[in-house]
């Protein structure tokens, strides 16, 4: 998913790996420091950075399975001593886009109110150069997360589970989390930046008070959620924060996303990597790595909800 918005950070200049790690180690949330030690050890094998200020043309062909995908299934992590630390908590997972969106251009191009302005209902998302669609990636990671979080006792709800022909629109995605009175909402994405740009970043809601949008009450808890997710993602996957947005912190604040603007509960987006970069694509199309991504995001959510 590539976006261009009013508070979108400009692309950052490429830096040497040692300097990037030094900046990130001081700027990223404290919980990520251990993860950086892991990253420094694994090097390129753990991931890199990626997102662009130029919107990538969405895929216009049916999603196809990548030949590099494997069939590893979600495997719930055992909870300690049989405890269910998230009992009574509601987590909403928002798998970005929908595999069927490309068949419904008129529906997904319809403009909806996002508070600050009007924007298209949804997009098709991006894909790897080999044709593995972002919408397939997001559903797979979301389903793996569900298995992990339910094992921890959470009630998990999806905005869509491949069970509808298109959408939902971004305003409806926000409303699903609101109606569920979710304790945390995470929207799963992968980016469509330029080749050579790598890494993940977590998008936080900026303060918006316009029209139907009033993010003031959720800005602080959403940042806390985003910091926990970013820290756990680094530690579990070994991936580095984006080298093109966020200044090496892995955190970006935006005011142009309806899914965040219209939320009344803590919510963040995560761009797990850049599908248009061959090294990031090799990770994103690996079932083993997607399991790590799901685990990292889930552990961030658990950490946030347990305080």
Over residues 135-183, the pLDDT tens digits come to 999 999 999 999 999 999 999 999 999 999 999 999 999 999 999 999 9
DSSP 11-53: PPPP--HHHHHHHHHHHS-GGGHHHHHHHHHHGGGG------S
Assess whether pLDDT exceeds 50 at residue 9.
no
**pTM, full prediction:** 0.77
Assess whether pLDDT exceeds 60 at residue 30.
no
Assess whether pLDDT exceeds 50 at residue 44.
no
CA angle centred on 139, ends 305 and 254, rounded to 5°: 60
Over the chain, what is the mean pLDDT?
82
Average pLDDT over residues 98-106: 98
**Which band of pLDDT confidence, cut at 50, 70 and 90, is reported for residue 109?**
very high
Residue 82: predicted pLDDT:
54
- Give the whole-angstrom CA distance, residue 34 versus residue 74: 25
CATH assignment, 17-58+86-306: 3.40.630.40
Between 73 and 165, whose confidence is greater?
165
Assess whether pLDDT exceeds 80 at residue 225.
yes
Decide if 299 is catalytic: no
Residue 14: predicted pLDDT:
41
**Which band of pLDDT confidence, cut at 50, 70 and 90, is reported for residue 1?**
low
Q: At what angle do helices 287-306 and 134-151 cross, to 10 degrees?
A: 50
Of 20-24, 45-49, 208-212, 284-288, the range with the lowest mean pLDDT is 45-49
Given 136, 227, 271, 299, the catalytic residue: 271
Assess whether pLDDT exceeds 60 at residue 256.
yes
């Amino acid at each position: 998913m590539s976006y261009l918005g009013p508070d979108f950070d400009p692309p950052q200049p490429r830096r040497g790996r040692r300097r990037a790690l030094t900046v990130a180690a001081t700027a990223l949330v404290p919980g990520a420091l251990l993860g950086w030690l892991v990253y420094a050890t694994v090097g390129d094998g753990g991931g890199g950075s990626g997102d662009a200020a130029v919107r990538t043309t969405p895929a216009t062909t049916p999603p196809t399975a990548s030949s590099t995908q494997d069939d590893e299934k979600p495997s719930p992590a055992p909870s300690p001593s049989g405890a269910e630390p998230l009992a009574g908590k509601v987590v909403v997972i928002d798998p970005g886009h929908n595999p069927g969106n490309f068949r419904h251009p008129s529906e997904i191009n319809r403009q909806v109110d996002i508070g600050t302005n009007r924007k298209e209902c949804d997009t098709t998302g991006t894909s790897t150069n080999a044709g593995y669609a972002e919408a397939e990636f997001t559903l797979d990671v979301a389903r793996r997360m569900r298995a992990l979080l339910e094992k921890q006792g959470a009630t998990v709800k999806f905005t869509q589970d491949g069970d509808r022909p298109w959408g939902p629109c971004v305003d409806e995605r926000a409303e699903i989390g609101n109606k569920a009175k979710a304790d945390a909402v995470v929207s799963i994405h992968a980016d469509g930046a330029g080749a050579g740009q790598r890494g993940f970043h977590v998008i936080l809601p900026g303060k918006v008070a316009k029209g139907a949008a009033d993010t003031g009450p959720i800005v602080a808890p959403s940042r806390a959620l985003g910091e926990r997710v970013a820290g756990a993602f680094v530690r579990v996957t070994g991936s580095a924060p984006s080298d093109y947005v966020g200044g090496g912190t892995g955190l970006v604040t935006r005011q142009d996303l309806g899914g965040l603007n219209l939320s009344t509960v803590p919510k963040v987006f995560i761009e797990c990597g850049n599908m248009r970069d061959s090294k990031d694509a090799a990770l994103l199309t690996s079932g083993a790595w997607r399991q790590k991504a799901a685990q990292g995001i889930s552990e961030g959510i658990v950490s946030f909800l347990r305080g």
